[in-house]
Amino acid sequence: MANIKPEILQKADAWLSDTFDEETKAEISRMKAENPQELEESFYKNAEFGTGGMRGIMGVGTNRINKYTLGKNTQGLSDYLKKSFPGEELKVAIAYDCRNNSQKLAQVVADVFSANGIKVFLFSELRPTPELSFAVKELGCHCGIVLTASHNPPEYNGYKVYWQDGGQLVPPQDKELVDLINNLEYEKINFEANSALIEKIDKKVDESFAEASVKNGSFDMEASARQNLKIVFTSLHGTSITQVPDVLQKAGFTDVHIVEEQKEPNGNFPTVKSPNPEEPAALKMALELADAKDADIVIGTDPDCDRLGVAVRDLDNKMILLNGNQTMLLMSWYLLEKWKKENRIQGKEFMASTIVSTPMLKNLVEDYGVEYKEVLTGFKWIAKLIKDHPELNFIGGGEESFGYMVGDFVRDKDAVTSTLLACEIAADLKSKGSSFYQQLLELYVKYGLYKEELISLVKKGIQGEKEIKQMLINLRENPWEMVDGEQVVLVEDYQSSVAKNVQNHTEHPIDIPKSNVLIYYTEAGTKIAARPSGTEPKIKFYISVNTDLAAVSEYEKTEKELSEKIQRIKSELSLG
């Protein structure tokens, strides 16, 4: 006991009351006796909402994902819904992914909603996160919940809240809800389910979502173009297996090879170290199958099917993994081309991305006479733009972290429709004697060659949280002045909402909600952003460098020069 801080012990002892079940109390007693550090990690704070909802390690405690922390969220959300929609018959939709305990936790959430007299539409089996976003609007719900921790390790789970428009909660609702939850006592949670208010949903929503995905993600082309594209797809043991193969088939793609070893949903993700399509190792089996089948394109999705990784053949016919910025550029270019061809660009359209994504997208979008908007990290901010600007038509948008949204029928990143769109692009270009990769290089010639790299430094637990906080304090108190021999000319601090021009010592406000993000720009256009992850124990640094590309034939040489530049920056700034 001597090693446990009094405030931690007080919080833990509160969980030994009759409000909590015997299994929970036994686990707390074990930690008190055997592992004080584990007890401290479990109780030193309350689990918080970040850029992708609430995520955390599953287990006992206020800083863990369990029936009580999620029950408290749901009780608070039930109270908030009644306050927000007085007198209305409240309806919510709930989905869950492949993770361990997701189905059980989804049932807990459904029980609490129903106990509060709220009608619940509960998917009876795992489904992609974008389908939940779609279902909220399709079923006329006031909000939706999905139980997922996206691409986090197997010990994690999470809780994402969606509002009436199908987008995640944003200010001011998110703060109002969090305040309400934080002030709620665990004793106030009503777990007594009213089964009459819980309705299982499946095929009807599945079919509507698939139809909408095909409508938004496919375009006019000869049927033979789709039939001639050879696709390898892996669901990485996740939810996309329930929708992606069917959507590809409905759109007319017939040569699809699924990685069988990763087809079965499994929360332990047995064939990968991390089920994250951002990491090359996750797509190793898919790339091997692609070589065996001589496939044109490889696509892998994360467990809840909102992110996708894409690999295509380069000019030497070798499979090469694209990063999120590259995939986003090609998807945006293709959508703009189609809108232009169909005379749909009328000066009332926009596309969007995030402040840490490639600056090249702005050049591309504005070249088509379309407005470009930039937001904080997280698709909830892009969804908010759509909601805030009903006078504008949203074409599409993405972010560097392998997410993309096609149109506004879903209000979150959507790897189902984006997978279809990627295959459409590859099929169309192949039928015209070009390729996904060739077109990317041509965009670089036209708009400049931009190269980005993300450095993620993992800092776990209480000590890691302190280190991340201190690193950002140091950056603010001792800002970089030179980067790779280039003068820093502008520093944007999204926490203070102030951008400082270092050269002429002027300042201007940043019209974006406050966030703990710093961005440095040099005189040569190098951009470096720093931010703590909103979903993982990491601090992230985003490096973007660019130069002109004279011709496609100059790509390898020029790209190598930019890679060397990034390595120098990483070394100079001690970023690993």
Q: From the CB of residue 470, how many other CB atoms can be counted at a distance below 10 Å? A: 10
Q: Please list, residue by residue across 325-349, b when 16 or more beta carbons sit within 10 angstroms of its beta carbon and e when fewer do.
A: bbbbbbbbbbbbeebeeeeebeeeb
Residue 565 and residue 485 in contact, taking contact as beta carbons nearer than 8 Å: no
How many whole angstroms separate alpha carbon 383 and alpha carbon 293?
A: 39
Look-up of token digits 């199908």: 166
Q: Who contacts 496 (Cβ-Cβ below 8 Å, separation ≥6)?
A: 514
Q: Which is nearest to 302 in space by CA: 320, 278, 325?
A: 278
| Collapsed DSSP state (helix, strand, coil) of residue 125 | coil
How many whole angstroms separate alpha carbon 500 and alpha carbon 508?
A: 7
How many whole angstroms separate alpha carbon 576 and alpha carbon 397?
A: 30
Phi, psi (5° rounding) for residue 74?
A: -70, -35
Instruction: Give burial (CB, 10 Å; 0-12/13-18/19+) of 6.
Output: exposed
Q: From the CB of residue 401, how many other CB atoms can be counted at a distance below 10 Å? A: 29
Output the CA angle 483-487-493, nearest 5 degrees: 80
Q: Which is nearest to 322 in space by CA: 309, 308, 332, 334?
A: 309
How many whole angstroms separate alpha carbon 398 and alpha carbon 351?
A: 9
How many whole angstroms separate alpha carbon 531 and alpha carbon 179?
A: 24
Residue 406 and residue 335 in contact, taking contact as beta carbons nearer than 8 Å: yes
Q: Who contacts 485 (Cβ-Cβ below 8 Å, separation ≥6)?
A: none
**CA-to-CA dists, residue 442 to 201, 352, 381, 449, 553, angstroms:** 46, 22, 30, 10, 10
How many whole angstroms separate alpha carbon 496 and alpha carbon 67?
A: 37
Phi, psi (5° rounding) for residue 271?
A: -100, 0
| Collapsed DSSP state (helix, strand, coil) of residue 302 | coil
Q: Which is nearest to 231 in space by CA: 97, 102, 423?
A: 423
Listed in sequence order, the DSSP H helices in 368-414 are 379-388
Identify any residues that bridge with 163 across adjacent strands, giving them in sequence order: 143
* Catalytic residue flag (residue 332): no
Question: Catalytic residue among 114, 150, 240, 357, which?
Answer: 150
**What DSSP string describes 464-512?**
HHHHHHHHHHHHHHS---EETTEEEEEEEETTTTEEEETTTTEEEE--S
Give the residue numbers annotated as catalytic, written as ranges: 150
